[in-house]
Amino acid sequence: MHRFSSSFVRLLTLTLLVIFALAAVMVMMSSYFFEDIYSAVIYNSITKSLRDAERLYDGLLTGEISPMTLYAAVNPVLNSDGAFYMMLTENRHVVVYTESAAPYFTGGTLSSLLDAADKETSATVRKQAGNKLAMIAGRKIVGGYVLAGRPMRSMSGAAASFRNRMLIAMGVVSVAMAIIGVLSARHASKPVRIITDMAGRLAEGEQVRLPENLPNEEMREIAVVLNEMSGKVAKSISDLKYEKETMALILEGLNEGILAVDTRGGILHENATAWRLLGGEETEASRAVMEALREDRQEDQWDRKFPTGGRVLFFAVSRLPSSGRNPRNRGTVALIRDITEQERLERTRYDYVANISHELRTPLASIRGLGEGLRDGLVTEENDRQKYYNIIVEEVTRLSRLVNDLLELSSLQSNPAAFEMEKVAPNELIYDLYDRNGSLFTEKSIAFQRTLPQEPLPDIRSNEDRLAEVLTIFLDNARKYTPEGGEVTLGAEKTEAGTRFFVRDSGIGMDEETQRLAFDRFHQAERSHSGKGSGLGLSIAKEILQKMNVSIQLKSVLGKGSEFSFVIPSAAE
């Protein structure tokens, strides 16, 4: 369906109103002058009928027409104009008349009409017979009189009929005007509709092209300009869509969450990472970040940390820059990061420095005290001096061992190169470690056993020195935390994944928290004060196995002992 402009609708409505108003004025004026107009019309018609009657009567007198022809002419059934006639001689004797006219000539009407005709040559009278009205005119002619009459309708009926005709004519004219106006408007508004449709499609980002053969020159010029603009706008919209999609992909690819809101708190931008970090839209973390975004602050940037569910989230909030056209604040944006590991590493670094300081301070203080005593000659006995010397050597050895462990751990972490791999026989490795560490367990009265399957285990591909170092660390750890009378087992066995090495003890065991932190640096530094080590052994073992892409498994029950194990694939695998 075609739509027309409001201006055209108003113009068409105004035209129809003018037509109706003119018709109403004509109806009112015609009603006012209707009687005179109607009478004049009837009189003119009777005048014509009188001329016809005069011609007929003259023809009868001269013999040009017969009486039968005259009778046919005055018979209303035979003539078609509806008039009635009467013709008389000069002596007022009736020659011929229309029988239907007889009721109108009673009561002296005929005599008065003829007398009037004698005086004025022509006379007119209205006569009512029953409920019928007629206008009669008479004229004196050479050889006699002629009378002619016509029936008249009542004024109210005639006026109503006239008004009805006027209304019908007015309606026909109005409908015709409306149809002509609609057709003209459709034809005239076709270029406008084309341009309007083009503008709507252009607003939706579609590239369109107008025909340049429009009816008039102005429209053709507009079409050329719009076609040029359409290409530019379509390219701009395409570029904007590409940039928007690219920005959306970038935001979704970030490991940090992005959440931006306008000044009313409505979300402008978001990515899936934000809601994943926050745990959904109805969590405490979500409410906390929305509260941070809505804070009314003077500064343009602020941040906040929020612990939730064992994690720590960091919100970095910034105000969105305002444009030149809109100098007011446009909203805020939050960068959401999970800093749990960062916080843990920060605590680890702090503990690391504190533990190293503590580990170094104790032997250095001991060496300094003993050295000052020897320097100042406070120790006179030779046995005491030897004892002091032995203590100093032990402390220096302890310091050297601590520094070597730190250097090895640092080297493992900073050197990305993997170890050189070679074929290793698991049975020979277990026998060698068992022989080298047997005396150490005997000194502490700890039963030391080895366990191997009856058939020799297949060769594995690894670094034999590093495997021996890891298993030695596990054995040292087991020896330190297993009381006298306990039991430590070194062994290897075949599994579906490869060869599994393990060290099992019946020592003090670990709780869940200790198991979780067992491989952290200096975690057991408190126990090292009693001479049980620096707390770096398990960290070194973990770093070595990580270089080999091998994971450590730890099983422990508090008060019942622990087991450290790892699996090395066979040489064929």
Question: What are the tens digits of pLDDT across the range 146-177?
Answer: 888 877 765 455 555 655 666 677 667 767 76
User: Measured between alpha carbons, how far is residue 148 from residues 53, 98, 187, 359 in Å?
Assistant: 7, 10, 58, 152
Indicate whether this model's pTM tops 0.85.
Answer: no
What is the residue-wise DSSP string for 367-418? HHHHHHHHHTT---SHHHHHHHHHHHHHHHHHHHHHHHHHHHHHHHHH--PP
Q: Does residue 394 or residue 203 have the better pLDDT?
A: 394
- Between strands 332-338 and 447-451, the pairing is unpaired
For the ranges 26-35, 137-146, 558-567, the lowest mean pLDDT is seen at 26-35
**Higher pLDDT among residues 359 and 224, named by residue:** 224
Directed axis angle between helix 382-414 and helix 537-547, to 10°? 30
Give alpha helix (H) positions in 121-216.
155-203
Higher-confidence residue: 72 or 161?
A: 72
**pLDDT of 29:** 64
Check: CB of residue 150 under 8 Å from CB of residue 49.
yes
Contact in structure between 135 and 83 (CB atoms under 8 Å):
no
pLDDT confidence tier of residue 499, bands split at 50, 70 and 90: very high
The answer on pLDDT for 428 being more than 90 is yes
Q: Are 558 and 509 in contact (CB under 8 A)?
A: yes
Query: CATH for 33-152?
Result: 3.30.450
Percent of the chain topping pLDDT 70? 73
Residue 106, pLDDT score? 76
CATH top class, domain 418-568? alpha beta
Indicate left, alpha or beta for 306 from its phi (over 0: left) and psi (-120 to 50: alpha): beta
Indicate if the pLDDT at residue 425 is higher than 60. yes
Q: How confident is the model at residue 486 (pLDDT cuts 50, 70, 90)?
A: very high
7-45 as b/e, with b when 16 or more CB fall inside 10 Å? ebeeebeeebeebeeebeeebeeeeeebeeebeeebeeb
Q: Which residue has the higher pLDDT, 495 or 188?
A: 495
Side by side, which strands form the sheet with 447-451?
Answer: 447-451, 487-494, 499-505, 561-568, 553-557
Flag whether pLDDT at 444 surpasses 80: yes
According to the CATH classification, is domain 344-412 in 3.30.420.10?
no
For CA atoms 340, 345, 350, 352, give the dihedral sign. Answer: positive
Structural domain boundaries of the chain? Answer: 33-152, 254-338, 344-412, 418-568
**416 has pLDDT over 70:** no
Fold of domain 254-338: Beta-Lactamase (3.30.450)
153 or 260, higher pLDDT: 260
pLDDT of 4 strictly over 60: no
SS3 content of the chain, % helix, strand, coil (to 5): 55, 20, 25
Average pLDDT value for residue range 495-499: 89
Most confident listed range (61-65, 79-83, 399-403, 423-427): 423-427
Q: How many CB atoms lie within 10 A of CB 86?
A: 25
Main-chain dihedrals φ then ψ at residue 467, nearest 5 degrees: -65, -40
User: Mean pLDDT score of the chain, rounded to an integer?
Assistant: 76
